[in-house]
Structure 1
Amino acid sequence: MMKKNRYFGDLMLFLAAFIWGTAFVAQVTGMDKIGPFTFNMARSIIAIICLGAYLIITKAKLPKDIGILLQGGLVCGFFIFMGTSLQQIGLQYTTAGKTGFITSFYILIIPFLTMFFLKHKIDLLTWISIVIGFIGLYLLAIPSLSDFSINKGDFIVFLGSFCWGGHILIIDYYSKKVSPVELSFLQFIVLTILSGICTFLFENETATMSNIFHSWKSIVYAGFLSSGIAYTLQMVGQKYTNPIVASLILSLEAVFAALAGYFILDEVMTSREFLGCSIVFLAIIFSQIPKDIFKKKYIEIKK
């Protein structure tokens, strides 16, 4: 039963990564006339409407310990606000490919956060999977070593990767205590409020209804699929999956973004990029190997 739950959780995370990867274009095109805070506020409102409708239709009831739900919503909302804001701001100064790669630094950050805050030990197999996955992401996103340079946007996105790492760990904690859908609903309320405040302070001139309507397709796509559905799938998936393995699966976002560009937008992918995709998939498969398989083999050989 536990193994089935784990596979179910992994599947939910896989679907979330797929949606995020294919929705990446919307995040870029959605900022043609509006700023990052306005875009995040608008897409969060769409997510709230979708999740709110689901909760009403399913007649969801408030949990007995509503304090934990509110606490989780506030903390998750703050971290997702910081992560999405830094990512959207960084996208204005760097490429989508580098953004995907640098954001995925959280696959290296999370193991250390897990060891430091949760006191969890990381087994060798997981470390190998992390390194393999990181190499694959590098080959996918960076054409050559000479093309890799650091600019202002890259540094901003890098700061955001710490927020994404924190977000994944926080979800790992709260998703096991409260309803994932209710938690997701609350985090988007917090995200909307914080993004709305920043929109008023920094983007008041461009945050007009005409400019927002100009980007409505990107906003609806990112709000309904990327926010409303994918983030909820992430919360459901992390209820059953180790946070480090979850970060590896979610890093497939960069792979799906590249493949979507190749198949849908007719973008060119080099053999190096295809190799990178294959290596990331290999890392995911490697991370799914039962941890006790080598112990069993060792015992059999010893006998």
Structure 2
Amino acid sequence: MNRLQANLLLTAIAIVWASAFVAQAEGMKTLGPVAFTGVRFLLGALVVLPLAIWEWRRRPSLALPPLATRQWLPVSLGLGVLMGLGAVMQQIGIVSTTVTNAGFLTALYVPLVPIFSMLLLREPPHWSVWPGGLACLVGAFLLSGAHDLVLQPGDAWVIASAIPWALHVLFIGRVADRLAAPFLVACAQFAAVGVLNLLWAFAFEPFTWAQVQACAGPIAYTGLVSVGLAFTAQVVAQRYAEAADAAIILSSETVFAALFGAWLLGERLDGQGLLGCALILGALLAVQLLPLLHRRFVQRTA
């Protein structure tokens, strides 16, 4: 898989995640958000488990170094902790802030990814990432429908959640590539997210088995498709995509969510929202096409 194919796969993942918003909204009518997240991620772990077992059994043929073989479980669980922390911190913030603020502030992970890439990995991204990241932030602000951003007490939690999200996007591709075991990595991190969220739910958001059964459809769709299929594909795609590019491409989820909302729920975007969509889509195309055009220019002039 080359870089362009990986970016196209990430775009497809963003579309799948966006389509899951409708199912998630339906599920929240019966089950609390943290419990819903825990159940669907555990379902996603079960979906990937057969592939993870197959990958574990073929480890000898992969000729992985002993260090990588020993590290796959703790490293994968660490990724799951990052993902789980992001989800929980975001959820705490949403309780005491507006959805508009939360949606905009979560997008802060987009510029954080290239910043962390330079600070932690000493890997400067392609120059197109910087204007692309800024365009995503402005686009998310416009798409949220906000005319003025008044910070609420929970905003600090949402801002803090951008840090584990950014670190997860930054490291997931490197870990999967180093271990050459994307299904093992995916299964372990899904299980970690599921357990963390369910522990939180049992303590602060009690639920019953009847509630789980009542939203079986939304859980099945988001667990099988959004987690089992799309999140696993993310692990595979980010073995070949730049982390900063991936952050911008995945942020297009907000655009596709708006389109699904218009299609399935009858929601409509005003001119401000359409401009936000255009900025995010423009950034998505820029980070995919500009490096390719630059490479072709260099080849022709060489």
TM-score scaled by structure 1? 0.86
Give the unaligned 5+ runs of structure 2.
none
| Counterpart AA for 2:33 | P
Q: What's the secondary structure of 1:266's corresponding residue?
A: coil
Aligned residues: 292
How far has the Cα of 1:180 moved from its partner? 1.3
Task: Answer whether contact 1:12 1:236 (CA < 8 A) is retained.
Answer: no
Query: Do structure 1's residue 182 and structure 2's residue 184 form an aligned pair?
Result: yes
| Counterpart AA for 2:156 | F
Residue 5 of structure 1 corresponds to 2
How far has the Cα of 1:207 moved from its partner? 1.4
Query: Do structure 1's residue 151 and structure 2's residue 152 form an aligned pair?
Result: yes
- 2: CA distance, partners of 1:180 / 1:94: 36
* Structural mapping, 1:95-244, within 5 Å: 96-145=99-148, 148-178=149-179, 179-203=181-205, 206-244=206-244
How far has the Cα of 1:23 moved from its partner? 1.2
Deviates more, 1:173-182 or 1:84-93: 84-93
Query: Do structure 1's residue 81 and structure 2's residue 78 form an aligned pair?
Result: no
Residue 250 of structure 2 corresponds to 250
- 2: CA distance, partners of 1:187 / 1:139: 33
| Counterpart AA for 2:204 | F
Task: Answer whether contact 1:80 1:163 (CA < 8 A) is retained.
Answer: yes
Describe the shift of the 1:257–1:152 C-alpha distance in structure 2 as closer, same or farther (beyond 3 A).
farther
What percentage of aligned pairs have identical amino acids?
A: 29
- 1: CA distance, partners of 2:97 / 2:19: 19
How far has the Cα of 1:150 moved from its partner? 2.2
Give the unaligned 5+ runs of structure 1.
none
Query: Do structure 1's residue 43 and structure 2's residue 46 form an aligned pair?
Result: no
- 2: CA distance, partners of 1:295 / 1:224: 40
How far has the Cα of 1:54 moved from its partner? 4.0
Task: Answer whether contact 2:86 2:162 (CA < 8 A) is retained.
Answer: yes
How far has the Cα of 1:144 moved from its partner? 1.8
Deviates more, 1:192-201 or 1:71-80: 192-201
Q: What's the secondary structure of 2:128's corresponding residue?
A: helix
| Counterpart AA for 1:61 | R
Q: What's the secondary structure of 1:121's corresponding residue?
A: coil
Residue 71 of structure 2 corresponds to 68
- 1: CA distance, partners of 2:71 / 2:213: 37
How far has the Cα of 1:164 moved from its partner? 0.7
How far has the Cα of 1:296 moved from its partner? 4.8
Task: Answer whether contact 2:111 2:130 (CA < 8 A) is retained.
Answer: no
- 2: CA distance, partners of 1:94 / 1:253: 21
